[in-house]
Structure 1
Amino acid sequence: MNQAYWVAPAIFLADTLFSLYLFALMLRFLFQWSGADYQNPVSQFLIRVTHPPLRFLRQYIPALGRVDTAAIVLMLALQMLGGYLIFLIQGAAPSFPALSIWAVAQLLELLLNIYFYAIIIRALLSWLGPMRYNPMISLLYSLTEPLLHASRRLLPAAGGIDLSPIVPLIGIQLARMLLLPPLQQLATLLN
């Protein structure tokens, strides 16, 4: 077997491991920022999984208000490391500026995806009736309520139907179209 045989599985494994941990870090950051229930079992799981590196970083990187800057630095560093490993496996070596911009674009895309799917799921669950006793649904409400609350001021309910998810979903799609392509092009140019 040649070396190329192992490239796709190695990329898959590296991408999966880094993506899962970055997803957990992003959720922890967002739940903390949105004031989600700290005692929720899902929150406790995320805290246990992400606490060791954050505890170390917080000694040197203080929070700015409700913004956990240590989590942001860790996400950026892990995204850059994961990307660098994947590029190396593919036989490329990106420059530090290109890798930095690429990592920011990837994290922004993850953030937008989390909010997009969280709002979609919440809208679908609203058709099923109240189920806030579920720990996952409670966190989903905590995460999406700030966006939907602001949206309700712009787009009030019409005939008992809550149209508030429309505004943030359109905003997320616009952000994807307007922010991600220039960042990706800049990363390509810097490489």
Structure 2
Amino acid sequence: MIYLLNAFSLLIEIAFDALATLFVLRLLAEAGRADFRNPVSQFVYRYTNPLLAPIRRVLPNWRRINLAALLVCYLIMLLKRVVLFALAGAAPHVAGLLVLALAELLDFVLVFYLVLVFGWSLLSMFGADGYHPVLRLVEAIVAPLLRPLRGKMVVGVLDFAPAVVMIGLLLARILVAAPLFDWGSRLAGGL
């Protein structure tokens, strides 16, 4: 029975994470000022806008951050935690759920950035087509992270800026997201 429960939990996590990916992509694409004419950007906009448009009337953007998309991402992570706790038959404290959802969202965004920076650096190393819509969108998303280190970490023809950014993202997961997870787990358990 435990194996079936674990398999069902995995499927639930995959479904919620796929949905969260769409809204995180919208959030980061807007923050990075991705080209709207890009077909991938249009796809993301088309499938996120029906939910975000009514929320944006109440919760407008702050600078370049789409607060509506951020709220939806947080609610997706919160709902995911509620469903997983219900599946396990546990009744956590509300404060713990709220902190766990925040930790989950932060960790998700950090891992998302980590994958994008790694993929972008790998593709650019092999000379991929710079006009491909996916590569242009990824470049617009990772550019704000890489911009402060551009040209400062070059040794010969190798640019170590992506490696430094990835190490920073991994450290943020260890030093910020993991303690937040621990704190949320303690609050959820009532400790």
Distance in 2, matches of 1:6 and 1:159, equals: 53
Q: Offset of 1:153 from its aligned partner?
A: 5.1
- Indicate the residue corresponding to 2:79 in structure 1: 81
Between the two proteins, the alignment pairs up a number of residues equal to 188
Of residues 164, 169, 173, the one that matches 2:170 is 173
1:60-108 deviation digits (Å, cap 9, x = unpaired): 1121121111111111111101110111011112221111111111111
- Indicate the residue corresponding to 2:157 in structure 1: 160
Summarize the alignment of residues 1-191 of structure 1 with structure 2, pairs less than 5 Å apart.
7-152=5-150, 154-155=152-153, 157-191=154-188
Q: Secondary structure at the residue paired with 1:59?
A: helix
| Structure 1: segments with no counterpart, 5+ residues | none
Q: Offset of 1:54 from its aligned partner?
A: 0.6
Q: Offset of 1:175 from its aligned partner?
A: 0.5
Q: Offset of 1:6 from its aligned partner?
A: 5.2
Q: Offset of 1:130 from its aligned partner?
A: 4.7
Q: What do you get for the CA RMSD once the two structures are aligned? A: 1.7
Higher relative contact order (Cα pairs below 8 Å, separated by 6+ residues): 2
Q: Secondary structure at the residue paired with 1:165?
A: helix
Letter in 2 for 1:72: L
Q: 1:163 to 1:5 in 2, by over 3 A?
A: closer
Letter in 2 for 1:126: S
Distance in 1, matches of 2:88 and 2:128, equals: 48
1:156-189 deviation digits (Å, cap 9, x = unpaired): x221221211221111111011002210111122
Distance in 1, matches of 2:17 and 2:145, equals: 25
Contact 2:29 2:137 in 1 (8 A): yes
Letter in 2 for 1:169: M
Distance in 2, matches of 1:58 and 1:30, equals: 16
| Structure 2: segments with no counterpart, 5+ residues | none
Q: Which moved more, 1:86-95 or 1:10-19?
A: 10-19
Letter in 2 for 1:180: A
TM-score, normalised via structure 1 length:
0.91
TM-score, normalised via structure 2 length:
0.91
Percent identical across equivalent pairs? 32
